[in-house]
Each structure stands twice: as C-alpha cells, then as structure tokens.
Amino acid sequence: MFKKILIFCMLVCVLATTFCASMSNVSYAEGGPDISSKAACLVEYASGEILYAKQETKHLPIASMVKMMTILLTLEQIDHGALTEETLVTTSENASGMGGSQVFIDPYVQYSAGDLLKSVIIASANDASVALAEHISGSESAFVSKMNERAQQLGMSDTHYVNCTGLPAPEQYSCAKDCALILKEVAKYDIYHKYSTIWMDELLHPSGRKTELVNTNRLVRYYDGCDGGKTGSTNEAGCCLSASAKRNDMRLISVIIGAENSQTRFNECSKLFNYGFANYESKEIVGTENSLLSIAINKGKEADAPVFADEAFAIVAKKGEKSDIDVTYSLPEKINAPTRKGDVVGKAVLSRNGAVIKEIDLIVKMDIDALSLKDCFDKVVYGW
C-alpha cells in the first residue's frame, strides 16, 4: 500500500513539474495567442464579450464537457428546492454499468445527491451522471430532453445532446461559444465552486469501501485564479477543456476543443487566460453599492433620499482605454411620500455612440413615511 502511495505522489510531482515548465513558456501571435486546437473561445464573464475566437461556432464533439449541462440542471434542481445535497438517490444497474470515467457506484443502493454531484464535478463520473439524470427525470432519455430544452432557452443554437455523459454519439455536438455560455451559467452557483476547487477527495460508498477522486481539471491546482471547469477526452473529440478563472474584478472563461493531447489543452487554455488578463480589464460603469444621486421627497419625514442602481453594469476593455459608454438619468425632480425600499423612481440610460444599449432601474433603499398632521404641526412650530 505504501509503495502505491509513493508511486502516485511521484507521478503527481512529475506532472506538476512538466505543467509548470510549459506554463512559463507562453508566446503569442500578433492579435492574440497562437492556438493549434480545432476550436477555441475566450469570454469575459460579466459582459459575455468574446475576446478571442477560433471556429467558435463549429459543430464538434466535446466529450465529457457535455456534463456541464448535467451539472447545471442538477444545480437548478437544488436552487428550486426540488433537490438537496442530502437527498438520497437510489442507483440503477444501468447507471452503475456506465463505462469510461466512473467512481464505481454500486447498483440498488442509495448515495446522497451531493456525493454524486461532487463525483461528476471533480472526477467526471459517467455513472454518477446517469444516476442523477435518472433520479431527476426518471430516465436518461427524459433528462436529455430537458438538456436540449435548457440549451435552447440559453441560446445555445449550435448544441445538441444525445446523452448526459459525453460518451461518443454521432448526433451529439456543441461548439466553443456554447461551452463558454453554459460554464457562465454554472459559475453562478456557490455549490459548484465548493466542489470544483477540490483537488483530491474521496467517495465513501454505502458498503464502506472508498473511491479516490482526483480533479480532472489540473488548472484548479496550477493556474492562479482558476476555480472551475470541465475536461473531456475521446478519440473523436480529442482533448477538450472549458475553465473559469478570476483575478481582481475580472472573470474569464476559456474553452479549448480538439487539442491533440491533454497537455496541449491545458497549455492553450492557459494561453487564453494569460492573453485576457494581460490585455483586458473590467470597468464598472454603474455600481449598486454607492448612491448615484438623490431625489426630493414631497411631504415625507425625510427631505430627500439617495438613489441607487438596481443592478450593476460593467464592460471589458483593453487596458488603458477610456470607456465609450455615456450614462444619463431619467427621473422626476421629486416624488411623493411614502416610499418603500426597492421602489423604482427612474432609470439610468446607458448608450454608445447615441444608441441605447441598456436601461437600469433606479431605486430607493429606504422607507420614508409621509408626514402626519402632528408632524406638519411640529414642523410649523419648530420653524416658527
């Protein structure tokens, strides 16, 4: 046993050394990184703006990156209250018999939904994916219908799912742009990041045996700021990777499809991150923390109230460039009391070159009651 652990540790060290060495030798072609993989995409998270693209809408097999939709639907079930991490999922013989990457779940026993989700996120487990799909929809085929329906809702027009695992299927395809879009959705969930940042863990089976889990996305360990992603690898798809990394106030999503080997996908995904963080920055145009202006309150216990944007708006721009977004405010000079927290009092209008690109509600964040007869009398007396 000790000998096996020693060999495993030595293997990890070798991989780490090789990876770090290749990371320090990054070169860029004019206008962006030199990417040899079949398709690639670099997207800024907040704005959704594409910073680099290569064959980003080309229909390609993406192997286990299909599981990002399996993960998303599971997270949404938890978010809607239809599922919890403690929910017990009874496994089937079909799920336990899945080939490829797996955590060797037993059939006809119960695992927690949290453990199965963890196994999918960390170890890309096909058996855990099917177990979740069968529990949520009754069968994998019914779950796949939900996957395609959700893809259409998200605007993933270049994606079609056939299974929930990414195992080879002739009619299953996606593209780099759609892979970035779905990771953008998944990255919204704290539960996802709770598991996606784990490098090594274990799954305890009901029988008492344990399966070691090692994160298939090496960037969470070796790339500064990377906190999530999904790998994929089959003969037809090549080596694929979608990953998310955040530095300072900017999060980037990097997608590689069809790399010639595993090391290339990590190198080229890192190249995209390096290019984005070196050349771009996120600029907040409208924030929600500080008041933008104030509005007079007619017949209120307060004379005026600070006004805030109901949502933030940021753009991504090349470093050193000034923003070309103009912000104007549309609201009355005064409003009548009472006001309540969250009341909409106007709009912030954002435009570029005279064209409106977004409107944001302006709200008050405090309750202000109307003056009573006694308040009016006191006000006159104190004024006198």
Q: Which two tokens stand for residue 119?
A: 């196994």
Q: How far is CA 296 from CA 332, 335, 378, in A?
A: 9, 6, 20
> What is the C-alpha separation between 73 and 66, in angstroms, rounded?
12
Nearest to 122 by CA among 191, 60, 177, 182: 191
Q: How far is CA 254 from CA 206, 245, 260, 343, in A?
A: 37, 8, 17, 39
Residue 64 among the catalytic residues: yes
How big, in percent rounded to 5, are the helix, strand and coil portions of the chain?
A: 35, 30, 35
Active-site pick, 64, 137, 196, 233: 64
Active-site pick, 67, 118, 271, 283: 67
> What is the C-alpha separation between 312 and 76, in angstroms, rounded?
23
Q: Which two tokens stand for residue 164?
A: 């929930």
Residue 124 among the catalytic residues: yes
> What is the C-alpha separation between 70 and 95, in angstroms, rounded?
14
> What is the C-alpha separation between 191 and 251, in angstroms, rounded?
18
Nearest to 167 by CA among 144, 134, 138, 195: 144
Query: Helix 126-137 to helix 140-153 angle, to the nearest 10 degrees?
Result: 90
- Contacting residues for 334 by C-beta, under 8 A, at least 6 apart: 295, 296, 297, 298
Active-site pick, 92, 96, 101, 124: 124
Residues with a known catalytic role: 64, 67, 124
